[in-house]
Amino acid sequence: MFKHYFEQVHNVEIWPIVSLSIFFIFFLCLIWYLVTQDKEYIDEMKDLPFGGDNETAVNNKS
């Protein structure tokens, strides 16, 4: 069914390559961002739900 629609699209063979390229570039940028991120900031955010400033959490509830 879809084959008939795709046959009518001009340059349809380029779209799988474009989508794979976008996907690949996105994840390369994501990996680059994570590798270059400040390790202290990551440790601070990692421990935030479990520890941190309990007084601030209590004051925000009231």
Q: What is the mean pLDDT of the chain?
A: 80
User: Can you tell me which residue has the tokens 């699209």?
Assistant: 9
* Distance between CA atoms of residues 53 and 60, nearest Å: 11
The predicted pLDDT at position 10 comes to 79
Compute the C-alpha angle 28/25/35, nearest 5°.
15
Q: What is the pLDDT of residues 20-44, one digit of tens each?
A: 999 999 999 999 999 999 999 888 8
Give the list of residues 6+ apart from residue 12 with CB closer than 8 angstroms, or none. 6
pLDDT greater at residue 48 or residue 57: 48
The predicted pLDDT at position 54 comes to 55
For the entire predicted model, the pTM comes to 0.54
| DSSP string over 11-56 | TGGGHHHHHHHHHHHHHHHHHHHHHHS-HHHHHHHHHTTTSS-HHH
